[in-house]
């Protein structure tokens, strides 16, 4: 029996990409969906019927945590307890059922927006998935939010909103009555501790003074994710813009990257002047077709892969990157760049245009977009020189 459990390793879990349910043994499964979301499930049989119980999403719930949860459930089963959340014999659909309806009906702004909602409802809110929707209480919602509330405030706020939407639909369909347990006003606002004001409302960022030391650790690491992260920092771009970069958008001879409007938050084409270092990194790549940063299976590199590259660069020896709280986000490097611009006297309008922020009216925006490329190029080159100042000229990310 002992050989039938603990079949996976932390390394295997971190590197698995194949869609499907991967058995760890003893009823514990690591599930990867078609969209790439990852979560833990406990499968068991009660009264001849198979039941699946969500244990939370990965990497928020580690392999060790999932095994502990599964062991506890096996103990309850051995004691003759019916562990199914639906053991109350409720005829209401589960939270997961309504969540899938919300995902099917919602109009998403972009594939990234869709993945954010799918991760929130299928992974982060995984503990709610098997609950009959009319049994979800404020305590259930707080238990889901609490692990993220102070650590990643932005994610926690979005998660709360997603849960509130699911429960609101359940009420509209007469599957539940009363107040929405995920409502903020006159509800969770009175119960959850105030979030750190330094983190709330924006992504945690690294002090720009620390970016050169970080880049020194990053440069020289192997893998496309590390290179994608370096280019993300050098161009002060969003992860989604870089992960979707296609060679057809890049003109290395002109040192220019044209990001199509479909991948831009503001839905406007954005021209990015590339620093000499960014061009050198891209020229070092062997391929010149399709995605610049493909994953191992040729698909678009996930934002999680880029985030994990950042954690690997700073995680202490012996600490798994997925379990390390770095205190900053990849998106936060845009803030690092913006503060550097302010403190080094860069023109405010030019700094905002480098970040693809809209300045002035429509006429001014069109004019600025096409006429200040070279002025922005000077800023991006100075930024690259600054963050790579401690990196030997010969160093490369390959």
Helix H, strand E, coil C: the string for 210-272 is HHHHHHHHHCCCCCHHHHHHHHHHHHCCCHHHHHCCEHHHEECCCCEEEECHHHCCCCCCEEE
160, containing H or E segment:
helix 153-172
β-strand partners of 50? 45
pLDDT at residue 285 greater than cutoff 60: yes
Count other Cβ atoms within 10 Å, centred on residue 141: 26
To the question of pTM greater than 0.75 for the whole model, the response is no
pLDDT at residue 248 greater than cutoff 80: yes
pLDDT in tens, 73-111: 888 888 777 776 554 445 788 999 999 999 999 988 778
Q: Using an 8 Å Cβ cutoff, are 94 and 132 in contact?
A: yes
Nearest to 96 by CA among 61, 51, 153: 51
Which of residues 355 and 53 earns the better pLDDT score?
355
Which of residues 136 and 109 earns the better pLDDT score?
136
Count other Cβ atoms within 10 Å, centred on residue 218: 23
Confidence of residue 324 (pLDDT cuts 50, 70, 90): low
pLDDT value for 363:
43
Q: Using an 8 Å Cβ cutoff, are 39 and 126 in contact?
A: yes
- The DSSP symbol for 301 reads P
* Longest distance between any two alpha carbons in the chain, whole Å: 73
User: Domain 2-83 is in which class?
Assistant: alpha beta
The mean predicted confidence, pLDDT, of the chain is 82
pLDDT at residue 315 greater than cutoff 60: yes
Best mean pLDDT range from 76-85, 275-284, 309-318: 275-284
Which of residues 339 and 151 earns the better pLDDT score?
339
pLDDT value for 33:
79
Torsion, Cα of 116, 120, 124, 127 (10° steps): -150
Alpha carbons 140 and 137: distance in angstroms, whole number: 5
pLDDT value for 375:
92
Pull the structure tokens for residue 210. 């620390």
pLDDT in tens, 1-48: 344 788 999 889 888 888 888 999 999 999 887 767 788 888 888 767
pLDDT value for 332:
85
Confidence of residue 151 (pLDDT cuts 50, 70, 90): confident
Mean of the pLDDT values across residues 374-384?
94
User: CA distances (Å), 194 to each of 31, 227, 257, 288, in order?
Assistant: 34, 37, 41, 49
pLDDT value for 50:
77
Pull the structure tokens for residue 182. 């995920």
Question: Selecting from 1.10.150, 3.40.50, 3.30.70, 1.10.1660, what CATH number does the domain 95-190 have?
Answer: 1.10.150
Domain ranges in the chain? Answer: 2-83, 95-190, 208-387
Rounded percentage of the chain residues whose pLDDT exceeds 70 = 87
pLDDT value for 90:
53
pLDDT value for 35:
66
User: CA distances (Å), 262 to each of 101, 102, 265, 269, in order?
Assistant: 26, 24, 8, 8
Alpha carbons 51 and 49: distance in angstroms, whole number: 6
Q: Using an 8 Å Cβ cutoff, are 319 and 312 in contact?
A: no
Mean of the pLDDT values across residues 149-159?
80
Mean of the pLDDT values across residues 66-74?
88
What is the topology classification, in CATH, of domain 208-387? Answer: hpI Integrase; Chain A (1.10.443)
């Amino acid at each position: 029996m002992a050989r039938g459990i603990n079949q996976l390793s932390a390394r295997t879990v971190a590197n698995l990409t194949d869609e499907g349910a991967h058995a760890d043994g003893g009823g514990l499964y690591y599930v990867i969906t078609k969209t790439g979301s990852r979560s833990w499930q406990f499968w068991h049989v009660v009264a001849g019927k198979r039941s699946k119980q969500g244990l939370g999403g990965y990497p928020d719930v580690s392999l060790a945590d999932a095994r502990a949860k599964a062991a506890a459930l096996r103990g309850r089963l051995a004691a003759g307890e019916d562990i199914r959340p639906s053991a109350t014999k409720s005829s209401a659909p589960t939270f997961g059922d309504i969540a899938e309806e919300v995902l099917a009906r919602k109009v998403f702004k972009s594939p990234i927006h869709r993945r954010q909602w799918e991760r929130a409802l299928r992974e982060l809110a995984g503990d709610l998935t098997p609950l009959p929707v009319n049994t979800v209480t404020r305590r259930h919602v707080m238990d889901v939010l609490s692990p993220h509330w102070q650590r990643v405030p932005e994610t926690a706020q979005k998660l709360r909103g997603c849960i509130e939407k699911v429960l609101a639909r359940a009420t509209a369909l007469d599957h539940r009555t009363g107040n929405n347990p995920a409502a903020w006003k006159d509800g969770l606002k009175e119960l959850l501790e105030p979030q750190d004001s330094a983190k709330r409302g924006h992504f945690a960022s690294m002090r720009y003074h620390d970016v050169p030391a970080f880049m020194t650790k990053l440069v020289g690491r192997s893998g496309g994710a590390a290179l994608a992260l370096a280019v993300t920092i050098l161009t002060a771009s969003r992860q989604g813009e870089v992960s979707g970069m296609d060679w057809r958008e890049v003109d290395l001879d002109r040192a220019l990257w044209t990001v199509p409007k479909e991948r831009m938050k503001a839905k406007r084409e954005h021209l990015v002047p590339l620093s000499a270092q960014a061009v050198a990194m891209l020229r070092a790549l062997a391929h010149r077709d399709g995605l610049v940063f493909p994953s191992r299976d040729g698909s678009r590199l996930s934002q999680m892969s880029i985030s994990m590259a950042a954690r690997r660069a700073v995680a202490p020896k012996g600490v798994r990157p997925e379990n390390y709280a770095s205190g900053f986000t990849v998106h936060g490097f845009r803030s690092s760049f913006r503060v550097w611009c302010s403190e080094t006297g860069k023109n405010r309008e030019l700094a905002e245009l480098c970040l693809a922020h809209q300045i002035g009216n429509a006429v001014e925006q069109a004019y600025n977009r096409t006429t200040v490329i070279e002025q922005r190029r000077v800023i991006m080159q100075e930024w690259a020189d600054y963050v790579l100042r401690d990196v030997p000229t010969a160093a490369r990310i390959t």
